[in-house]
Structure 1
């Protein structure tokens, strides 16, 4: 009875282990089939980047909002004091009105150079001003997004010492994270395009270049239709934003979510285009380099072959010349030469056998080997 219970428990354990193995195998096959592993990695990077931007917005809002309230109250007090001083001087000293007005204008312009003072004057001092906080969640989110992308419009910025220290640490960690996320997303999209079009990257490169030129135009038209800036300024703002230049000289009326999406899509599009176009250009450069290398190798081999042929020809020529000189010497040394004495007394000789004389530049000693006998004295002398 005990043995049967033990066997049943063993069978149950074996069946459970087999079912677990089958389940894990099925899960692995699903992950491999639908590429869930890389997809989870890409999604995790995007979620981490978005979370980092949102968390940074809350962080800087909590740091800079109290500082903004202090600076706003101080700015309102200064503007009111300057106004009262101007009105008092204007009523007491009528002849010096021009000088008083000039002094008031200079002080006012000097105060407006500060961003918090200018914001307080625009929204809380002038009669038609609409009260508006400089640091809100939407503006803080634009600040963190343009910091980590990085565009850096400069619409708002931290003024407290603690906020600036946090910004340094935040940017040191956030900029690499965002750049890696953008590059990874662009690489993933480029791989999808490569699988769709195959090895030919010229077509997707042309498509993305056209999209890169069309994107600022479309966004510019939307901004021109929904805000007060012109179409040219809208296109200018779009280009300086997606290429992470961000001068901050234009402030279009744009929803913060639309702003973030516009920047993210634009920067990713630039990354994909540069990735595909650079890959195509590098491939073409490598193609040309490989062919140039092959051409150099072929030219080197041909040059070596030409040198080898020249060396062999020179050696044959030298051997032929030596044979000719040897034959010439043997012919000169014969006893049957006719010596003549000319009228000037100079003795000259002329070999009586001219048919057997080979000239120095004649290589026929090898080509006419069959016509000469094996016992030729000059060749036997040279070859012996």
Structure 2
């Protein structure tokens, strides 16, 4: 049986434990057909919304997002199915800018739909040449009366091609670099919006490259103030980066559970594999990595929920450690399964594919190292 003792840690309040337990019960009967990724994601969003699980992904009334609830949700869903975690996560990431900076009219128009699972959202930040360097974005938004005209491309956009609403970042030119970006709400029915390419990856998700050819967007669709786009993007990532770490933790927990079951049931020379000290060493290392990751994840979530304006350092530490160690935990689980570990359809084989992207998206591992190093150096310098 999966370890649930961490829910008694002082990071959590009673409603967090109740939420995690209830969602785990819901996931116990979850069945996902992975043969059609787009259809599966649409179905998952609809089901999650209909049963109320998407409510934590948005804030209509201006209350802070509960990062611990978001993290527990992602951990629980990821432990059961990677695509279910993806469907949940993107509803939050895609509308995070609205929750944090949106006008009342924008929130009322879209957040009831996304939290009910009636509209799918996407976060369009990455560009072909600017990856993690958001300040190098070249997509433009030119003011024309009461509209902005968007031109450029975005790529690796999750839910690209199936989303009903996109949060798009473009250069409005108030200042050079990071200070000249703004955020906009864009819908795929706007003339000039084009899905250029659907991108295939090792763990299938809806991903696309998008092109904007003179897409006219009402000025009222700007999220926040002109030139505030970088702040909007970083504030959203400051919340949701911790939840990426939580998803990695969920994958690692599942891998540990699968490994324990395997070495307990599998026998060699008349005794279970778990009797071998080398196997016990692997299990010990995996358990250590899981608990250490959980402590970093929920420290970051608790710190944000406690009112810290920014948790860039804590979130970066959680994401870096949890995603890297989850990769290691899952690799050990595959090894302990022997040939079955790489057999298509096995849980650990799917986990092996699921985990890899988490070390890249929302800031690759080396980007997190830079964030941590700069924060540490600034702290030591007394800044």
> Normalising TM by the smaller chain, what interval?
under 0.3
Which structure has the larger Rg? 1
TM (norm. structure 1) is 0.23
More strand by share: 2
TM (norm. structure 2) is 0.23
More helix by share: 1
- Of structures 1 and 2, the one with the larger relative CO (CA 8 A, separation 6+) is 2
